[in-house]
Chain A
Amino acid sequence: MIRIENLVKSFGAFNAVDDISFSVPQGAFLVLVGPSGCGKSTMLRMLAGLETPSGGTVFFGDRIVSEGNRGWTIDPAQRDTGLVFQSYALWPHMSVAGNVDWPLKVAGMAKPERQARVAEVLGMLGIAPLATRYPNEISGGQQQRVAIARMIAPRPSILLFDEPLSNLDAKLRVEMRTELLRVHRATGATSVYVTHDQVEAMTMASHVAVLNQGRVEQFGTPEQLVQSPRTAFVATFVGTPPANLIPVSALPPERAANLPAEASAMYRPEELSVSAAPVDGSLAFDFAEASPVAGRTMLTGTRNNLRITAVVDAAPRFAIGDVVHFVVPPAPAVLFGPKGELLS
């Protein structure tokens, strides 16, 4: 179990992590997701013990591992955590087996046990044939597997991942996602995974913390985030495609009638329909793009800095230059205030 209370990390006057609290149970797969600079990597590094918090407390189980108010933190190696770096950080002068072996050696494990454990994790990740190769002799995906093998070899009870898939190509990324979840389940450890890719967050997580400007915008399961976003930021950040947010002032008058003028209305893409001609409750946009998605069509229009996406069963063929009329349902799914706060 990981519990975080009022965690703060400041660099000078800037709070990279600003009063964050949440907890996840043993065996959870927690994803910290947010745009770059939101403080998610700093969070992870504090969990790893590489940074000392400026305030707040981190518990692993019942044990306090970092206490910001006292400027105190347990050494990275004593926290029973493992970390996969974004750059993988494989030691270039050691072979694949050497990379996995070294942390065990540092931990003082006897040689026969080490050899058995190295063979076991290399086998588990399907890289046993690469054992004698050097990091610069294997592909990016293989390096990734070595980094994971190195992390799990000492059997840490908390696995930390810092954007581990961002250096891989799209197809490999999907494969490694599955692989990572398999490792997570096989080890029974609690995982914390940092990414800026909400798709990764939504597909892998048991718990998601959406971070923005050092604060948690929302903490919950992927379903909760999509079903009931608590802020406008979350609403437009998660989901594939994310929900549409339209200022009430830009809505057609017949739809804006009963809504507060300053607010923004959220509509899910699947609640919209499209039409080639204006109809009741429709908004005119310039056609931007269309793509087939699992037997349906995803259509995007833009106008005046607004962007709207609908997923429909069938749509007329549009071309660039056409005007598309997006029909919004009588009532918005959610209503947000001018500062992005939840209204209804």
Chain B
Amino acid sequence: MSLVSTRGAARSLRIDGKLVLKLIVLAILGVLVAAPLLRILFETLSPDAIIAWSDVTSGRLARNLLWVPLGNTLILGVGVACGCVLIGGFLAWLVVMTDVPFRRTIGLMATLPFMIPSFATALAWGSLFRNSRVGGQTGFLEGLGLSVPDWLSWGMVPTLIVLIAHYYSLAFTVIAAALATVNSDLVEAAQMAGAKRGRILMGIVLPVALPAVVAGASLTFAGAVSNFAAPALLGLPVRMQTMATRLYGLIEVGQTARGYVIAILLIAVSALFLWLGNKVISGRRSYATITGKGGRAKRFTLGKARLPLFALAALICLATTIVPVLILIASSLAPSSSALFSNWTLHYWTGASNPSIAQGQAGIFSNPFIVSATGLTMSLGVAVAITTTLIGLIVAFVLARDGKGPLAGIINQVSFLPLLVPGIAFGAAYIALFGAPIGPFPALYGTFALLLIAGTAYLLPFSVQTGRAVIQQVSGDLDESARMTGAGFLRRLAAITVPLASRGLAAGGLIVFVKIMRDLSLVVLLFTPTMPVLSVLAYRYASEGFTQFANAITVVILVISIAATLLANQLQAKSQPWLKS
């Protein structure tokens, strides 16, 4: 009797403990994610701001404020999604299903462009293709005496190309992973049925990979519509506005209410397509992957097309990875981007201020402002990596321990909400919430804390995923088998959990660090001269025409990012199942 009652008491206590933890997690998520988003919405609904809605959607300026940028944004989104699925899908098919030479190398190269920030690719494009239309230095091709037409130099076409070059690796990763699960038995069964190659591709391979193609398309669409750097660097100089650049412009000139309206609409566009993509996939219950034994890899023989297709793949990979990096390095050394490979000087890196060059700007390593910005950006990356990993782990832990019930459902949804929110809109939301004092708390605008919590919230979906993977790996059988030996909680934590989890967590943290290092869209609105971040500095230099400095800073970002990424890959011995032979 007494046993029963003690047990009952213990249980109710434990439930209370769980509940408290859940409420705490919910509160953290509320402040980090929900509050800024709600705040930006309410901000536009206040009596003196609500007119912004009609200004933006139907007023005299609506065409310029919303409709033209919306049109451009949608063109970019659709164009980039199509281009990425075509190129990413082509490379994935080549790497996973055919006997193309150097499959591993192509597979690795195809994942790299996403690690190069889009503003780096955009800057490299400018160094090559810039013409004299907007003044300033011209690019390498004009320097060679070629005349670059405006459409190739500025506006929609280069923006599309740069974004596709940046995002196709996302589509590649998703599609390659899906194709790798297409058991070669499925293809052989179709062969047995007498289907020819084309029919197998259309009747079996594509339908099975369709969910991944849709996922790749909606992810790259969302990426393209939220991207700020490429349209800002290649479109703004010729007044091509997207919603992201329009939002930035409105907030910069102080029309915050209108900016917030654009931000909300941008979130809606991006979220709508992600949701649609998700719906298409989950609506087809038949698409759960079937894994079986066997899986003997039998590859399509390309025959005569083998070398031409390899050459095409190699060209795509080189043009989107090595080439932009080389151009950036060369252009950070060349006094004139029209002569990228002559008169190299280290002035833009280490030179002291010289009034005759670049209006007396010192080289980036001699510029105390940039040096301190480097330190600041790196500490921001480290701080965000730590906080977001911690919170992600706690959220994942709470969800893993008790993932049922409405509270857990809300936690789950809110923690993945930032995925739907373009970085620049998220930045706007943070200004709306923390730009002014709240009660006893001072305004956070221009402080390290604001950058820290915005970055933490922005990368939360990622760290929750890392946390989940780590917990899934550690909990369950492994922990239970340790429990069977009689080891206590702390002992298990030290002997089983920490050793198993630390690599995964460290790798996840490093990726977060990289994402912060190279992020522009989130921080571009939160930037203040007191809190200079490298990516924004590069953007500012570029828009003011100091391309060498911009490119030099970008190279610094690249070096730090690549080093951290390699370290992370090393740590998690990144599994790329589609590369296994």
Contact = CB atoms under 8 A, between A and B. Distances in A.
B290 A86 contact: no
Nearest to B195: A106
Given A87-B185, A89-B183, A137-B285, A103 B193 contact: yes
Contact of B286 (A75, A76, A85, A136): A136
A135 B208 CA distance: 13
A167 interface: yes
B324 to A, nearest CB: 38
Given A102-B203, A136-B286, A136-B290, A92 B208 contact: yes
B286 A87 contact: no
B188 A77 contact: no
Interface stretch (B57-65, B292-300, B344-352): B292-300
Contacts of A90: 290
B443 interface: no
Given A93-B207, A93-B208, A87 B295 contact: yes
Interface in A83-97: 83, 85-95
B210 interface: yes
B194 A91 contact: no
B204 A91 contact: yes
A294 B240 CA distance: 86
Contacts of A150: 189
B255 interface: no
A134 interface: yes
A273 to B, nearest CB: 43
A50 interface: yes
A146 B286 CA distance: 15
Contacts of A77: 191-195
A91 B287 contact: no
B289 interface: yes
Contacts of A81: 192
B438 interface: no
A95 B199 CA distance: 18
A103 B194 contact: yes
B294 A106 contact: no
B199 A106 contact: yes
A94 B195 CA distance: 16
A166 B292 CA distance: 12
B186 interface: yes
A92 B290 CA distance: 7
- B190, B192, B294 pick with most chain A CB within 10 angstroms: B192
Contact of B210 (A50, A93, A95, A135): A93
B315 interface: no
B288 interface: yes
A82 interface: yes
A110 interface: no
A257 interface: no
A78 interface: yes
A167 B194 contact: no
Contacts of A92: 186, 208, 286-290
A305 B185 CA distance: 40
Interface class of chain A by DSSP? loop
A28 interface: no
Interface residues of A, number: 33
Given A77-B194, A87-B295, A134 B286 contact: yes
A107 interface: yes
Contacts of B286: 92-95, 134-136
A95 B285 CA distance: 11
Central interface residue in A48, A91, A135, by most chain B CB within 10 Å: A91
Interface residues of B, number: 29
Contacts of A78: 194
A75 B189 CA distance: 13
A77 to B, nearest CB: 3
Contacts, number: 95
B516 to A, nearest CB: 39
A43 to B, nearest CB: 14
A77 B193 CA distance: 6
A121 to B, nearest CB: 14
Interface in B190-238: 190-195, 199, 203-204, 207-208, 210
Contact of B193 (A85, A106, A134, A137): A106
A76 B192 contact: yes
A279 B495 CA distance: 56
B284 to A, nearest CB: 8
Interface string B106-147: 000000000000000000000000000000000000000000
A150 B193 CA distance: 9
A107 B292 contact: no
Task: Give the most central of A92, A94, A102: most B CB within 10 Å.
Answer: A92
Interface in A59-101: 75-78, 81-83, 85-95
B50 to A, nearest CB: 48
B191 A91 contact: no
Contact of B294 (A75, A87, A134, A154): A87
Which of A78, A81, A103, A166 counts the most B-chain CB atoms under 10 A from its CB? A103
B192 A48 contact: yes
Contacts of B207: 91, 93
Contacts of B284: 93
A298 B255 CA distance: 90
A159 to B, nearest CB: 11
Nearest to A83: B192
A214 B289 CA distance: 34
B290 A85 contact: no
Interface in A112-168: 134-137, 150, 154, 162, 166-167
Contacts of A103: 192-194
Contact of A83 (B189, B199, B289, B295): B189
Contacts of A94: 286
A94 B186 CA distance: 12
Interface in A31-55: 48, 50
Contacts of A106: 190, 193-195, 199
Contact of A102 (B185, B193, B288, B289): B193
A75 B294 CA distance: 22
Interface centre among A82, A83, A85, A90 (most CB of B within 10 A): A85
Contact of A107 (B193, B210, B288): B193
A291 B117 CA distance: 68
A93 B294 contact: no
A50 B188 contact: yes
Nearest to B203: A102
B293 A136 contact: no
Given A76-B194, A136-B288, A86 B294 contact: yes
Contacts of A89: 183, 185-186, 188-189, 292, 294
Interface string B156-197: 000000000000000000000000000101101111111100
A76 B188 CA distance: 9
A150 B284 CA distance: 23
B277 to A, nearest CB: 17
A86 B292 CA distance: 8
Interface in B503-540: none
Nearest to B188: A50
B189 A85 contact: yes
Given A86-B293, A87-B183, A135-B286, 7 more contacts: A76-B191, A86-B292, A91-B189, A91-B190, A93-B210, A134-B285, A136-B285
User: Closest 9 interchain pairs by CB?
Assistant: A87-B292, A77-B194, A103-B193, A89-B185, A134-B286, A89-B189, A93-B207, A87-B294, A136-B288
26 contacts: A50-B298, A75-B194, A76-B188, A76-B191, A76-B192, A77-B192, A78-B194, A82-B192, A85-B188, A87-B183, A87-B293, A87-B294, A87-B295, A89-B294, A90-B290, A91-B186, A92-B208, A93-B287, A103-B192, A106-B190, A106-B193, A136-B288, A150-B189, A162-B294, A167-B292, A167-B293
Interface of A: 48, 50, 75-78, 81-83, 85-95, 102-103, 106-107, 134-137, 150, 154, 162, 166-167
